[in-house]
Chain A
């Protein structure tokens, strides 16, 4: 039998018990709609992104940078814009870049990165093995990371295809302190070992581009000077694209990003109106009726 409290409520009841599938559907619409029909909402650049940009901007032809890909495909969707913009800056400045994949899926991400920037590499005469090397997968546990930090060539001898790295720019790397900068692209906790053995033991500067979930922790590490820069999420990627004047997928995603955030705010407000207006009064009615 349906109680009186369940039949009452009207719009408040609808708001308090809204079908989650409606939320999913609306989220889908507000994300896909702006992707298909961009609005071009303006974005501002945060101080964090400026700091991250300035760290990379200091790199030049004499610098060797380690790009540490600790991301899988799902995370790459969030981090690709910032990673591509960072790599673009390094290529244009002529810095040498070695890529290490710290996740099995990341071995397929480095070719995506190279392909998306092939025109920039050609324009800057940036060549594989001369200016950049993909070192393939490296297990991101304490022992493996510690051994690459203390004796790089004792642990890494070839690139991902098995070609020897002897005679390349990596000859100048012996310990972690020889890296000019480490850009840590992260979705998880793999960077803990990097902080422990590259930063704490050797003082190597680490800048981190991480997913939104990890941003509060990364900011604390930035305060503690364990990191030299933090680029937060897809939003940071879009800001970096704006800063370097190379608008790409990050900026294009910001319309969907902003509208979906407005949608969440609206649902939070509506949900609370429904909760206080219907569920609380319903529980009061039940208590009084006893």
Chain B
């Protein structure tokens, strides 16, 4: 037996999804705007609630447990709210400045390792390992790295071997862009396939999906033919 809650989620989810897909019709329409604005409203509400709960759990509960230093964070957070006043907005610069400085200091301490040194280390490797597949893999990295780096030399005149290397780097860049495009297509397709699965599994959802598709498509066509599509979109 399908529960009412489950059924209502399936119906509303399919309807909102088809309203979003109605943008593929090629013309703006009120159903798409309704779905889009609903999502914006939902996401904003969720973020606000989550932020309040997070402040309570990570801050207020800590203070109640005797960790008084956390009250400094709460005070700085309240000071940020002075941005809402034109007269006292300057006060908010202090907590924002502290926040930026802390984030920057924390990330700079480790990012030098995670984004630079570890990756440079990874390119220093034995080019003749026993495994032939690994050897091919390492040679590919080695042969791609040098031309790729020379391609980004901006302050040197490109001539002779440097020019050839930079040209090779340019083509390697195109190859890597192709790889990124293919991965992006795979990723977006994965999202779409997964989403369509959520609308078609279990099979009792299929009639809901098909009927919603027909209703939304018919509504969009009627609104378009009656010249109401643009008129009913809020300004």
Q: Which residue numbers of A lie inside 8 Å of B, CB to CB?
A: 21, 24, 27, 31-32, 35-36, 74-78, 80-81, 104-105, 107, 136-139, 141-144, 146, 154-158, 162, 192-193, 195-197, 199-201, 211-216, 220, 223-226, 233-235, 249, 252-253, 256-257, 260-261, 264
Interface string of B97-111 (1 = CB under 8 A from A): 001001100110011
Q: Note all chain B residues with C-beta closer than 8 A to A201.
A: 110
Interface centre among A199, A212, A216, A220 (most CB of B within 10 A): A212
Interface string of B44-73 (1 = CB under 8 A from A): 001100100110011001100101000000
Interface centre among B61, B183, B190, B198 (most CB of A within 10 A): B190
> Please, how many angstroms separate the alpha-carbon atoms of A212 and B187 in the complex?
4
Known: A157-B62, A196-B114, A216-B180. A74 touches B189 (CB 8 A): no
The answer to whether A226 touches B114 (Cβ under 8 A) is yes
B201 contacts partner chain A, Cβ-Cβ < 8 Å: yes
Give the 8 A-B CB pairs with smallest separation, nearest first.
A212-B187, A77-B194, A234-B190, A196-B110, A78-B190, A212-B186, A224-B118, A224-B122
**A254 to B, closest residue via Cβ:** B193
The answer to whether A31 touches B118 (Cβ under 8 A) is no
Q: Note all chain A residues with C-beta closer than 8 A to B83.
A: none
Q: Note all chain A residues with C-beta closer than 8 A to B141.
A: 223
The answer to whether B196 touches A257 (Cβ under 8 A) is no
> Please, how many angstroms separate the alpha-carbon atoms of A201 and B114 in the complex?
10
The answer to whether B54 touches A137 (Cβ under 8 A) is yes
> Please, how many angstroms separate the alpha-carbon atoms of A32 and B21 in the complex?
14
The answer to whether A249 touches B184 (Cβ under 8 A) is no
B121 contacts partner chain A, Cβ-Cβ < 8 Å: yes
The answer to whether B201 touches A249 (Cβ under 8 A) is yes
B153 contacts partner chain A, Cβ-Cβ < 8 Å: no
Q: Note all chain B residues with C-beta closer than 8 A to A193.
A: 107
* Shortest beta-carbon distance from A163 to chain B in Å: 12
Q: Note all chain A residues with C-beta closer than 8 A to B107.
A: 142, 192-193, 196
The answer to whether A143 touches B103 (Cβ under 8 A) is yes
Q: Note all chain A residues with C-beta closer than 8 A to B180.
A: 213, 216
**A103 to B, closest residue via Cβ:** B50
A–B pairs, 11, beta carbons within 8 Å: A24-B24, A35-B201, A76-B194, A136-B53, A139-B54, A154-B67, A157-B57, A162-B57, A215-B187, A223-B119, A226-B114
> Please, how many angstroms separate the alpha-carbon atoms of A1 and B103 in the complex?
61
The answer to whether A31 touches B190 (Cβ under 8 A) is no
The answer to whether B193 touches A234 (Cβ under 8 A) is yes
B38 contacts partner chain A, Cβ-Cβ < 8 Å: no
* Shortest beta-carbon distance from A194 to chain B in Å: 10
> Please, how many angstroms separate the alpha-carbon atoms of A146 and B111 in the complex?
13
> Please, how many angstroms separate the alpha-carbon atoms of A130 and B145 in the complex?
49
Q: Note all chain A residues with C-beta closer than 8 A to B198.
A: 77
Q: Note all chain B residues with C-beta closer than 8 A to A75.
A: 191
The answer to whether B196 touches A256 (Cβ under 8 A) is yes
* Shortest beta-carbon distance from A180 to chain B in Å: 21
Q: Note all chain B residues with C-beta closer than 8 A to A252.
A: 197, 201
Chain B residues 204-228 with CB under 8 Å of chain A are 206
The answer to whether A105 touches B186 (Cβ under 8 A) is no
Not counting A81-B194, A235-B190, A260-B189, a sample of 18 additional A-B residue pairs whose C-beta atoms are within 8 angstroms of each other reads A27-B192, A77-B190, A77-B193, A77-B195, A78-B194, A105-B43, A136-B53, A139-B54, A142-B107, A146-B106, A200-B110, A211-B187, A214-B187, A216-B176, A224-B119, A226-B118, A233-B186, A264-B185
